[in-house]
Amino acid sequence: MTAEPARVPASSGLRDVGPINWAICRLGARGIRAPEFHLFNALSRHSSLFWAWLPFSGVLLYWGRLSRYDAELVILRVGHLRECEYELQQHRRLARSRGVDAALQAKVFQGPHADGLSDKQRVLLTATDEFVLQRRVTPETWARLAGYLNTKQLIEFCLLAGQYDTLAATMNTLQLPLDFPD
């Protein structure tokens, strides 16, 4: 991501973050199959925000109303738009496990006009581009999106795109090291 050092410590010792946050960081690293989970390590240094963010993030990533497949399309597009290699490294892997293969990921990075996308994929990417780049979704795109998503999913789309836009800005600003050597 960057050769510059992280702006906050990217590793968390037991004394730095306390036993509960330390355990969460270790479990998170195990969950992603990496020696360290630098995002958790950094955020756990602000315990109250970490504890507020963790369940919200978990609902969006694991228990939301959007399909995990659709959520990964949105997250990958946000990571690409925000040039956040940390977010992309994490979610390229996770997306593959959720059915978004390398060929489709390449189309996500090309954008909503890439050949071979379904109409639903195209509208998800268009809505993501508008949300992230224009800070709103046009009425035309919203109407198309509403043809595929119910009210709860539409709300979740906004929170998902906003959450990952915020995370991309945070990860890029904190200059977190990548979790995987590739």
pTM of the prediction?
0.92
DSSP codes of every residue in 28-61 = HHHHHTSS--HHHHHHTTSHHHHHHHHHHHHHHH
In this structure, the answer to whether residues 115 and 162 fall within a common structural domain is: yes
Q: In angstroms, what CA-CA distances link 35 with 25, 85, 178?
A: 10, 18, 11
Is 92 in the same domain as 161?
Answer: yes
In the numeric block, which tokens belong to residue 165? 């836009």
| CA separation, residue 19 to residues 22, 23, 33, 44, 135 (Å) | 5, 6, 21, 11, 39
pLDDT digits (tens, 9 = 90+) for 95-142: 999 999 999 999 999 999 999 999 999 999 999 999 999 999 999 999
| Same-domain status, 28 and 101 | no
pLDDT of residue 87: 96
Q: Do 37 and 120 fall into the same domain?
A: no
Q: What is the pLDDT of residues 29-49, one digit of tens each?
A: 899 988 889 999 999 999 999
Same domain for 161 and 90, yes or no, is yes
**Is 101 in the same domain as 42?**
no
User: Does some domain include residue 77?
Assistant: yes
CATH number of the domain encompassing residue 139: 1.20.1290.10
| Domain hosting residue 162, numbered range | 68-174
Say if residue 1's pLDDT is above 70: no
Are 143 and 93 found together in one domain? Answer: yes
Residues 104 and 34 in one domain: no
- Both 52 and 138 in one domain: the answer is no
pLDDT category of residue 57 using cuts at 50, 70 and 90: very high
Q: Distance between CA atoms of 168 and 82, rounded to whole angstroms?
A: 6
Instruction: Please give the structure tokens belonging to residue 134.
Output: 């224009």
| 151-173: pLDDT as tens digits | 999 999 999 999 999 999 999 99
73 and 147 in a single domain? The answer is yes
**For residue range 64-85, what is the model confidence (pLDDT) as tens digits?**
999 999 999 999 999 999 999 9
Residue 121 lies in a domain: yes
Total of domains in the chain: 2
